[in-house]
Amino acid sequence: MNAEIISVGTELLLGTTVDSNAAFLGRVLAECGIGCTNRQTVGDNLDRLTAAIELAFKRAEIVVTIGGLGPTLDDLTRDGIARALDDPLILDLELEGEIREIFATRNLKWVESNARQAMRPTCGEAIENRNGTAPGLICRKNGKVLIALPGPPREFQPMVSGPVRQLLATLGNAVIYSRVLRVCGLGESRVEELVRDLMDGENPTVAPYAKTMEVHLRVTARAETTDDAANLIQPVAKEIRRRLDWRVFGTDETTLEAAVIHKLRKCGLTISASESCTGGLLGGRLTSVPGSSESFVGAVIAYTDAVKVQFLGVLPTTLDAESAVSEAVAKEMAEGTRKKFATDFAISITGVAGPGDDDRGNPEGLVYIGLATAEGTTVTKHQFGKGRESIRNRATQAALTLLWERLQN
Amino acid sequence: MNAEIISVGTELLLGTTVDSNAAFLGRVLAECGIGCTNRQTVGDNLDRLTAAIELAFKRAEIVVTIGGLGPTLDDLTRDGIARALDDPLILDLELEGEIREIFATRNLKWVESNARQAMRPTCGEAIENRNGTAPGLICRKNGKVLIALPGPPREFQPMVSGPVRQLLATLGNAVIYSRVLRVCGLGESRVEELVRDLMDGENPTVAPYAKTMEVHLRVTARAETTDDAANLIQPVAKEIRRRLDWRVFGTDETTLEAAVIHKLRKCGLTISASESCTGGLLGGRLTSVPGSSESFVGAVIAYTDAVKVQFLGVLPTTLDAESAVSEAVAKEMAEGTRKKFATDFAISITGVAGPGDDDRGNPEGLVYIGLATAEGTTVTKHQFGKGRESIRNRATQAALTLLWERLQN
């Protein structure tokens, strides 16, 4: 069973958009045991899109298009499919009703062009889009399958991870199954050093991927069934956990913030935070986890010295003597936060996000992170290199790693 | 003059690598005025690679391959080019000498397979690789040009930015130049309705792209020089701004948070915030802008009722009577925030991020946003559909849009 992906969009050819969707889908195809030998990218042009679908069906039983399903005139994928399959488009009134309902729920003005999104070939059925208005399509004709998916990643990815993956799994005949072990607190080369012998295996394979201050170890096995593949993976995953210990904070899609929140909930602990240079990123990540309100009480984004004094009780004399980016201020912030919010834990972040050093001579990338608990307060000092976005993300990740490490005891 | 890109590598099809190289090259082709209507991706397979090159030359005068030039057995691009061009490979002794020299300089052991990298079709000439051992290739035959480039981005990018760009500039006869106008406060279909006649133009073209509660209008012109192209774009961009007015908040890479912060700074205004369901996302976005500390003072992430009362002065009776997700609480939050932080503006966000409705019966996706100024407080009500991440991002974007709209007066 072979599949071919066609990415549709002039913005892909012009290079203004990097095609991460095709890679995402490629991984899912591989996991479902479906081969993929060719991929095509075409612009928003009906003739070329039609030719691409026709060519793909000469090489593959399954063709998946990405993009071009929106309401505007340059969204031509439906028309291309209809021409390539020689199957006319009809207006699906039930679909139109559903799209109108989305507009009504969101209080958006209905524009007639939106009805285009309810068009489908007669052989097509819709795939629900929970994050947008354009439904996907599955068309079956002459023993071949065409799947059409919308381009915006937040609509595309859930559709692929859900119904499309289910369909592909039934079409594929061998199973390639992966588990990802997520590691914090160690660099990629150190992780590799610790598991290098496991990386020589052929089934399962072990491959490291470096993320922002995180390493993901993908363990992949090939077998006839998912259970068989999982059984091949299990002893290797166990050995990795033995070697890396608490640093493996989760598997697959588990984020570090989710691991932290779940651990806090399990231990019945509450937490609060105060953020200076990260400006809300830590709060944003912690509250991205459903149910975080059971443990996360609140935070102060203390972007000025005055706010640090007024809301957190930091002493003006400490700010004067040590500057806002100092071990002493991180300590007072964490302790003041814990007191004001009356939580078990409180974390503070203060640093120089840049660009450039601050007016007290603290270098760009210098960050202090405080952690206050009933047993006392610890402050760690970090130097995160250059770049505002990078420094802010690294500081947030370091705060979560410190919390995670602390929660192991 | 038309070009086609062929990305070579099984890892691209499997999705373990995202093809950022092709996007990079796409931008350079566009800037050199060379059209690009199709792109292909093939695995490390000689037959399919050969077929891809042959197909590409049927559609384009310039074919650029990316990847497959290394020393190992699955690096097959040279062989595919030789077969597609019907021009045998020869060992270029001068090239081999240069590669041996790189190995000597770096104290690396010479392995005989490295000599493969000195092979080229008789019509080929090498492109120097300053960051690796595999040289690129330029082959000219029958009025067509083939360019072969290595896949590792740190080798690929400097080659493209340097000698390849120079060559492409001489081959291209026009410049394609784009400006992006960023629009908030209107849906994609409504934007299209307002500028539909402009989208019929051929030079410049106007194309809309939907983002999260934002629409980007790309205006692209083709001309002999960048200045000429810019002159073609200018009146169309001006007309779009006239029709969409304040909703055009910036051009090219300007984010909405950057537009807001710059406007606040220009007006000498300060701002603070209180966030419930967004949990710090608004603060995170505002503080992502360098220099935001001049206007953004701080925020309270008020994730519980108690924090809303203690830090912001929301009345417990209002919380009891109206629930935390209500117009009244949004109003008290905004006003309390403005008072506590002593800022010109204060914005509040309270809503149900889900999953599911809250225990007071407020539906998932219901969000109130308050904006307090010296002239009074306004609260707007929103219904953002389903999905925790989507609701939180939409709420943050809506808050920034309200701020931006307000700052126009």
The interface residues of chain A toward chain B in range 218-247, judged by CB-CB distance below 8 A, are none
Mean pLDDT of A152-162: 93
CB B5 within 8 A of CB B67: no
For residue B164, what is the DSSP state?
I
Note whether B19 contacts A19, CB cutoff 8 Å. Answer: yes
Q: Residue A189 to residues A11, A208, A299: CA-CA distances in angstroms?
A: 36, 9, 35
- pTM score, two decimals? 0.75
Residue A188 — pLDDT band, cuts 50, 70, 90? confident
Predicted pLDDT at A372: 98
Given the DSSP bridges, would you call strands B35-42 and B62-66 parallel, antiparallel or unpaired? Answer: unpaired
B24's enclosing H/E stretch is helix B20-31
B188–A14 C-beta distance less than 8 A: no
Strand partners, B275: B301, B349
Convert the pLDDT of each residue in A1-57 to its tens digit.
899 999 999 999 999 899 999 999 999 998 888 989 999 999 999 999 999 999 999
Interface of A with B in 9-38 (CB under 8 A): 10-20, 22-30, 36-38
Tell me whether residues A40 and B37 touch, CB distance under 8 A: no
Residues 6+ apart with CB under 8 A from A340: A272, A300, A311, A312, A313, B310, B311
Interface residue A41 vs chain B (CB under 8 A): yes
Q: Is A389 on the interface with B (CB under 8 A)?
A: yes
Tokens standing for B119? 């092979």
Residue B78 has pLDDT above 80, yes or no: yes
Three-class SS string for B150-187?
Answer: CCCHHHHHHHHHHHHHHHHHHHCCCEEEEEEEEEECCC
Q: For residue A349, give the nearest of A279, A276, A285, A284 by alpha carbon.
A: A276
For residue A182, pLDDT over 80 is answered with yes
Strands B271-275 and B296-302, sheet pairing? parallel
Instruction: Select the residue from B4, B41, B349 to test the A interface by mutation, using most A Cβ atoms within 10 A.
Output: B41
Kindly determine whether residue A22 and residue B14, on different chains, have CB atoms separated by under 8 Å: no
- Interval A108-147: pLDDT, tens: 888 888 999 999 999 999 999 988 889 999 999 989 999 9
Q: Provide the pLDDT for residue A124.
A: 95
What is the end-to-end Cα distance of chain B in Å, rounded? 49
How distant is the Cα of B96 from the closest Cα of chain A, in angstroms?
Answer: 31
Residue-wise DSSP of B295-324: TEEEEEEE-SHHHHHHHH---HHHHHHH-S
pLDDT confidence band for A232 (50 / 70 / 90): very high
Q: Per residue in B279-330, pLDDT tens? A: 999 999 999 999 999 999 999 999 999 999 999 999 999 999 999 999 999 9
What ipTM was predicted for this assembly? 0.74
**Residues B293, A303: C-beta atoms closer than 8 Å:** yes
Range of weakest confidence among A29-43, B79-93, B233-247: A29-43
Is A303 an interface residue toward B (CB < 8 Å)? yes
The 8-class DSSP code of residue A160 comes to I
Domains and CATH numbers, chain B: 2-171 (3.40.980.10), 175-251 (3.30.70.2860), 256-406 (3.90.950.20)
Beta-bridge mates of residue A373: A376
Contact B319, B329 (CB under 8 A): yes
- Convert the pLDDT of each residue in B131-148 to its tens digit: 888 899 999 998 999 999
Residue A409 has pLDDT above 80, yes or no: no
pLDDT at A202: 81
Alpha-helical (H) ranges within B45-112 are 46-59, 77-85, 93-105
Nearest chain A residue to B29 by CA: give it. Answer: A14
Task: Pick the closest to residue B151 from B84, B74, B71, B70 (CA basis).
Answer: B70
